[in-house]
Structure 1
Amino acid sequence: MMEICVLGGLVHYKPPSPSPSSLHPHFLSKPNHHNSTTSSSLMSSSVSAECLSSSSTTVEPPSLLVFSGGTGFNGVVEELKKLTTRVAHVLPVSDDGGSTAEIVRVLGGPAVGDIRSRCLRLSDESTSEALAVRRLLGHRLPLDPHEAKKDWYDIVEGNHSLWDEVSRPYRETIGAFLVYFQNEILRRPNERFCFSNGSIGNFFFAGARIFFQSLDAAIFLFSRVSEIPCDSFVLPVISTNDRLTLGCELQDGTIIRGQNEISHPSSGTMQTVDKV
């Protein structure tokens, strides 16, 4: 159970302290779902080893608990992390715009774009490899559908220049889940996936979520690969594997569904929201 209390005007948060195995029972191995390369690369990777040794090191709980949207708060995050990394970020999983919308349309599940965006903002920038991983997971495919598909296949096949400064453990781990994401798309031949302006980080995140069948495990993996500080937490407002649709009712009784439609209504007339 998590504990939240208010001290001195700040929200103090005491999170649970999961290990990879307690967070998800088959984090380190999952038979009949993937080849052994994924498991071995996860276990052999040097990604944030100190974060995994929680039994010998006590991590102080975050001092701040932040409820926010995705991109709108990112500018504040850049300044906040200069002051402290002991922050728990709680984000929505209902965004249905951009690259996220296409993933949700074809593969279902919760929207991961806001969480991916926050993890990248918190990610390590201290080494050339950390920057290379950040560039890869922050990369967006071209707007032109044909160019986007070509760029995507170059990345999946390991031929893209974005891989140049990424070491083998990271390459195998990230690449395995990108391939898994691609295979999930191919299993749905009736749904044509549009890669235009697609986010590589979103694809990696979605592949991990589907593989583990756990949003929490996908966040854990993404956090470790992007090397966010051990005392920072990125949490979904609700942990679910199902699609979440935000809706609101206007004062005239009109019902609008979808976060993107609520934020950017297609109708020229703005009505006051009565309830969400």
Structure 2
Amino acid sequence: MSTTSTANRGIVVFSGGSAANNLVDVFSSLRESKNCSLSYIIPISDNGGSSSELIRMFGGPGIGDVRSRLVRLIPDSPPNSERAAIKALFNHRLAADAAAARVEWLDIVDGTSEIWRAVTPAKKELIRSFFNLLNLEILKRARPPSSTFDFTSASVGNLFLTGARLFSGSFESAIYLLGSICGVPSDTVRVIPAINSHFSHHISASLADGTVIVGQNSISHPSEATASQPRPGSRCPSLPLADGVTDVQDTNNTNGSTITYEDHDDHPPGALPTLRQKSIQFSKTDNEDLASRITRIWYINAYGQEIAPPANPRVLDSLQDSQAIIYSIGSLYTSLIPSLILRGVGQAIVNSPARHKILILNGSLDRESGPPSNPLTATNFVEAITRAGEESRGRTHLPIPASPTSTEQAQPPLDPTLPYSSYVTHVLHLDGPGTPQVDRDSLAEMGIETLRLYGRKIVSAAESPLGMMYDSTALTQALEMVLGRKGDAMLRGGEKNGLSRRNTLDPGRQW
């Protein structure tokens, strides 16, 4: 255990990619106020979008969320500065048309693209060297016309990270290089992949009705109808099923029936074709609802068999030297749980010197929050986090209780054997249309304190409420207060200090 004083121990944030990117400034302000390090723990199980094509061609981890966070951490700069140009480069996506995307990629590789205009020659040639290496590897692996790389909507940042990983043989070395080029201060802010691996790691989910869904993209964002579909033929290699699970379903199959596959040379022996599709495209806003709640997440190997990979040692080191652990907003089962079920994580959280373990509850319900008729509550979020941590410790292998005949039921009773407050001590939440229900009495019974914040409504084009959005000022104040800075005077003096009611915490909070 580190001898670092409690005040200067770090803050650890478990999160995914895009949703938590909106809170980066909040976490940066918190880090500065506590004068400590900040570690982001990011899962690597993403297998959709730009990552899917890189995984199909090169294997390796899902890198999209890591790249997204690194680029988001680039300090703000004037529009025409080199730093702004670097940010635009690594955030850039190639054209949605395959032919146009390939031409655009070649312009970037040979250095003639306008995207290089504000980048200095030295940095340009450094970055280009990895693009050229990746391009050579793409050409070596291509077997036209049956197998070629699809540049459609590819993320340039993901392409760079892959080139750097192939060059160094190390994912973390590639992350360090990208962070250095982007000017991310690695001595104070760290982006840590949950698993340090040169290989792909995929997840599966079981639903309360017995369905098993394979692959993160199918769990969180099912592919659009235009995405490649598995071909009928021989049955997919069977997966180990959880208790009560009766079948395996791939949600890319639009009619909901069991998918079968035929063997094909594109897929090495044992590789599940559903995880090797070409350029999986998806929508984050237009997804069909799950038929019932997710009950469990686990990792699988290329044969579909369950595995229990260990966590990145740097994750465990960060947890063992932390003053606070934060579970950020994002998809519960594909952004948070994949990091929490890794071997060693649960024990590290329970044994962490962190006195505060804070869940920032989502401001809206997504596909993973269960069917609209029976969405997850704040209590369910805490239950899922606790069970994931306990499974990481090898203490339980049981899904959240659900009736075998009806998933639309009242909340199951709390499990008195689960150490809820060892994983979550505080829940910060919003209250408004589209937000998860918060049962303060139930959370208090679990030993968890709640704090309600004011936020802004999110509305659709039709002016219908979609949920709530955290106000950065209010969230920063809440986190500082929980961690012991500024205190309750902030609540009592909000109006006097010039803060509007919308930007202050709820003075009627329950502790």
Decide: shared fold, TM above 0.5.
yes
Match of 1:273, as an amino acid?
I
> Where in structure 2 are the equivalents of 1:83-102 lying within 5 Å?
83-84=30-31, 86-102=37-53
User: Which stretches in structure 2 are left out of the alignment for 5+ residues?
Assistant: 223-250, 257-287, 298-511
> Where in structure 2 are the equivalents of 1:215-226 lying within 5 Å?
215-226=171-182
> Where in structure 2 are the equivalents of 1:129-144 lying within 5 Å?
129-144=82-97
3-state SS of paired residue (1:88): strand
Task: Report the equivalent of 1:77.
Answer: 24
Aligned equivalents of 1:168, 1:67: Cα separation in 2: 37
Aligned equivalents of 1:100, 1:5: Cα separation in 2: 38
Shift of 1:64: 1.2
Task: Report the equivalent of 1:27.
Answer: none
Aligned equivalents of 1:131, 1:78: Cα separation in 2: 17
> Where in structure 2 are the equivalents of 1:258-273 lying within 5 Å?
258-265=215-222, 266=251, 267=256, 269-273=290-294
Shift of 1:4: 11
Shift of 1:219: 0.8
Shift of 1:6: 11
Shift of 1:3: 5.5
Map Cα deviations across residues 71-108 of structure 1 (whole Å, 9 max, x no partner).
Answer: 11000013332453631111001111111111111111
Match of 1:200, as an amino acid?
V
Task: Report the equivalent of 2:166.
Answer: 210
3-state SS of paired residue (2:23): helix
Task: Report the equivalent of 1:35.
Answer: none
Map Cα deviations across residues 160-217 of structure 1 (whole Å, 9 max, x no partner).
Answer: 1111111122111110011111111111123311111111100000000111111110
Aligned equivalents of 2:124, 2:174: Cα separation in 1: 17
3-state SS of paired residue (2:164): helix
Match of 1:256 among 207, 213, 216: 213
Aligned equivalents of 1:168, 1:68: Cα separation in 2: 35
Cα–Cα, structure 1 residues 82 and 183, in superposed 2: closer, same or farther, change >3 Å?
same
Larger radius of gyration: 2
Match of 1:122, as an amino acid?
L
* TM-score normalised by structure 1 residue count: 0.75
Matched length: 223
Identity among equivalent positions (%) equals: 36
Match of 2:54, as an amino acid?
I
Map Cα deviations across residues 18-66 of structure 1 (whole Å, 9 max, x no partner).
Answer: xxxxxxxxxxxxxxxxxxxxxxxxxxxxxxxxxxxxxxxxxxxxx3110
Match of 2:208, as an amino acid?
Q
3-state SS of paired residue (2:158): helix
The structure in which a higher percent of residues are helix is 1
Match of 2:74 among 103, 123, 132: 123
Task: Report the equivalent of 1:26.
Answer: none
2:168 equivalent to 1:177: no
Match of 2:16, as an amino acid?
G
Task: Report the equivalent of 1:59.
Answer: none
Q: Residues 120 and 138 of structure 1 are in contact (CA less than 8 Å); yes or no, is this contact kept in structure 2?
A: yes
Match of 1:207, as an amino acid?
G
Aligned-residue Cα RMSD (Å) equals 2.2
Aligned equivalents of 2:83, 2:29: Cα separation in 1: 18
Q: Residues 142 and 149 of structure 2 are in contact (CA less than 8 Å); yes or no, is this contact kept in structure 1?
A: no
Shift of 1:142: 1.1
Match of 2:192 among 230, 235, 260: 235
Q: Residues 124 and 229 of structure 1 are in contact (CA less than 8 Å); yes or no, is this contact kept in structure 2?
A: no
Aligned equivalents of 1:169, 1:179: Cα separation in 2: 15
Q: Residues 11 and 31 of structure 2 are in contact (CA less than 8 Å); yes or no, is this contact kept in structure 1?
A: no
3-state SS of paired residue (1:96): coil
User: Which stretches in structure 1 are left out of the alignment for 5+ residues?
Assistant: 14-62
* TM-score normalised by structure 2 residue count: 0.41
3-state SS of paired residue (2:22): helix
